[in-house]
C-alpha cells in the first residue's frame, strides 16, 4: 500500500520563507553588513606616497573592514566646480558618504552638502561644519617634536633642511616643533626652511632639496603632498630624511630614513561608514592627537640610534600624560622677539595663530 505524500500548505511555505528572509536581514544588520557606497575625491595621485595615498589607503582599509561597502574613487580632481561635479556624480551613483579629501574642497563640499541633506560628508582639516558635514584632522606638533628628537640624535652636521609648501600657521608650528625637539637633545642644531608656494612641484622640490644639501644639511624634512622627490634627493646624497603623511614612504629612502609623521585613516573611515549605516553619524569637528589611531609615528630607519628611539618613546608618553608641552617658554622667534614668556606655554589649540619661526630656524615666515 502506497503512502500518500503530505503537501505543505502554501500559507506555511510563505510564512517559512518570510521568517528565513527576515532572519537573514537581521543577521546582516547585526554584522554591520548593510550596503553603503562611499565616494572619495583626491587632489592628486593616489600613488604619491604622501597625502593622497594615505587617504586612499584609508578607504581601502575601510572596505576590508566592511566588505559590503563599495568605494567610488576619483583622483587628480581640481578644486572648485570640477570637485562639485564629481561629488554630485558620485551621489547620483548612490553614494551616501562623501570624503572630499583636500582642504580646498571645503567650500565645494558645503555647497553640495546643502543640495543633498541626506548624504553625509567628512572633510579633512576643515574649519566649518554643516548639519551633514563633519571635519577631522589631528594635532601634529607633538609628533614633529618627536621627529626632531630623532633627527637631533642622528645628524652628523647638526643641520636640517625643510621643504615646505606654504608658510601657513599649522606648517610653521610643525617646523617650530621639529626644531625645538632637535634642540632639546642637540643645542647646536640648526634648521633651514624653504617654502615652495605650492603643494606639488617635483622639479622645484628637487632644486630646493639640492640647495639645502649643498649648504651642509644632512637631514631633510618635507611638508608637501608627496615626499618622494625630497627623500630620494637625501638618499642619493647619503643624507637622512623625515617623512610626512604616508606610513610607507621609507621604501624610497631605506638607508637614510629616520621616521615620519603618518596618517592612518582606515579605522576612522570605518567608524564613519558604520555610523552612516547604523544611523548614529553626527556632525562634529574631530581633532586627534598622539593617542588617536589615525596619527602614527612611522617605523624608525636603521640609522637611528637605539637610545634615540627610547627617548622618542619616553617623550611621547610624557606628551600623552600631559607632563610636557611642545611650546614651553621662554621662546623667542628667529628675529629675537620674545613670543612665549618663561613659565608659560603656547597652547596647541592656538597654533592657528602662530605666524613666526622660533630662534635657530633660518627662513622667512611671511
Residue 120 domain-assigned (yes or no):
yes
pLDDT of residue 19: 42
Residue 353 domain-assigned (yes or no):
yes
Residue 63 domain-assigned (yes or no):
yes
Q: Are residues 208 and 332 in the same domain?
A: yes
Q: Are residues 60 and 150 in the same domain?
A: no
Q: Are residues 157 and 79 in the same domain?
A: no
Closest CA to 136 of 267, 300, 312: 267
Q: Are residues 57 and 93 in the same domain?
A: yes
The radius of gyration of the chain from alpha carbons, rounded to an integer in Å, stands at 25
d(CA 179, CA 334) in angstroms, rounded, equals 12
Q: Are residues 274 and 219 in the same domain?
A: no
β-strands 219-223, 257-263 pairing = unpaired
DSSP result, 18-80: HHHHHHHHHHHHHTT---EEEEEE-SS-TTSSSHHHHHHHHHHHHHHH-TTEEEEEE-SPPTT
Burial of 355 (0-12, 13-18, 19+ CB in 10 A): middle
pLDDT of residue 33: 54
Query: The C-alpha cell of 101 is what?
Result: 579629501
Residue 105 domain-assigned (yes or no):
yes
Low-confidence ranges of the chain (pLDDT < 70): 1-33
pLDDT of residue 11: 57
pLDDT of residue 257: 98
d(CA 349, CA 245) in angstroms, rounded, equals 21
CB-facing half-sphere around the CA of 187: CA atoms within 13 A: 0
Residue 232 domain-assigned (yes or no):
yes
Q: Are residues 304 and 175 in the same domain?
A: yes
Q: Are residues 98 and 205 in the same domain?
A: no
Q: Are residues 245 and 270 in the same domain?
A: no
Q: Are residues 123 and 193 in the same domain?
A: no
Q: Are residues 270 and 312 in the same domain?
A: no
Residue 27 domain-assigned (yes or no):
no
Domain count, the chain: 2
DSSP result, 266-314: HHHHHHHHHHHHHT-----EEEE-TTSTTEEEPPPPTTS-HHHHHHHHH
pLDDT of residue 365: 83
Q: Are residues 109 and 223 in the same domain?
A: no
Residue 358 domain-assigned (yes or no):
yes
Can you give the CATH number for the domain in which 236 is found?
3.40.50.2300
Question: What residue numbers bound the domain in which 223 lies?
Answer: 141-262+294-362
Residue 319 domain-assigned (yes or no):
yes
Q: Are residues 169 and 281 in the same domain?
A: no
Query: The C-alpha cell of 346 is what?
Result: 603656547
pLDDT of residue 9: 54
pLDDT of residue 366: 76
Amino acid at each position: 500500500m502506497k503512502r500518500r505524500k503530505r503537501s505543505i500548505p502554501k500559507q506555511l511555505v510563505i510564512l517559512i520563507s518570510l521568517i528565513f528572509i527576515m532572519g537573514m536581514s537581521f543577521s546582516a544588520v547585526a554584522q554591520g553588513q548593510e550596503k553603503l557606497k562611499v565616494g572619495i575625491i583626491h587632489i592628486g595621485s593616489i600613488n604619491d606616497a604622501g597625502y593622497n595615498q594615505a587617504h586612499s589607503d584609508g578607504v581601502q582599509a575601510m572596505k576590508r573592514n566592511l566588505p559590503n561597502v563599495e568605494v567610488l574613487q576619483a583622483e587628480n580632481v581640481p578644486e572648485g566646480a570640477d570637485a562639485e561635479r564629481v561629488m554630485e556624480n558620485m551621489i547620483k551613483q548612490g553614494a551616501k558618504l562623501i570624503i572630499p579629501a583636500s582642504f580646498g574642497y571645503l567650500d565645494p563640499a558645503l555647497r553640495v552638502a546643502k543640495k543633498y541633506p541626506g548624504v553625509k560628508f567628512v572633510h579633512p582639516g576643515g574649519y566649518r561644519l554643516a548639519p551633514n558635514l563633519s571635519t577631522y584632522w589631528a594635532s601634529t606638533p607633538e609628533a614633529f617634536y618627536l621627529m626632531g628628537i630623532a633627527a637631533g640624535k642622528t645628524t652628523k652636521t647638526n643641520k636640517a633642511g625643510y621643504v615646505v609648501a606654504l608658510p601657513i600657521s599649522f606648517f610653521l608650528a610643525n617646523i617650530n616643533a621639529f626644531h625645538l625637539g632637535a634642540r632639546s637633545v642637540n643645542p647646536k642644531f640648526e634648521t633651514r626652511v624653504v617654502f615652495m608656494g605650492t603643494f606639488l612641484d617635483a622639479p622645484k622640490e628637487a632644486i630646493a632639496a639640492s640647495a639645502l644639501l649643498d649648504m651642509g644639511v644632512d637631514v631633510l624634512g618635507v611638508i608637501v603632498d608627496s615626499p618622494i622627490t625630497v627623500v630620494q634627493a637625501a638618499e642619493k646624497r647619503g643624507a637622512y630624511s623625515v617623512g610626512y603623511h604616508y606610513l610607507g614612504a621609507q621604501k624610497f629612502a631605506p638607508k637614510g630614513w629616520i621616521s615620519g609623521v603618518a596618517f592612518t585613516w582606515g579605522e576612522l573611515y570605518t567608524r564613519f561608514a558604520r555610523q552612516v549605516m547604523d544611523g548614529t553619524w553626527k556632525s562634529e569637528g574631530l581633532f586627534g592627537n598622539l593617542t588617536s589611531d589615525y596619527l602614527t609615528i612611522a617605523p624608525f630607519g636603521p640609522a637611528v640610534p637605539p637610545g634615540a628611539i627610547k627617548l622618542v618613546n619616553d617623550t611621547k608618553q610624557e606628551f600623552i600624560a600631559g607632563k610636557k608641552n611642545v611650546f614651553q617658554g621662554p621662546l623667542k622667534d628667529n628675529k629675537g622677539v620674545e613670543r612665549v614668556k618663561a613659565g608659560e606655554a603656547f597652547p596647541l589649540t592656538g597654533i592657528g595663530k602662530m605666524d613666526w619661526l622660533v630662534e635657530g630656524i633660518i627662513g622667512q615666515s611671511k
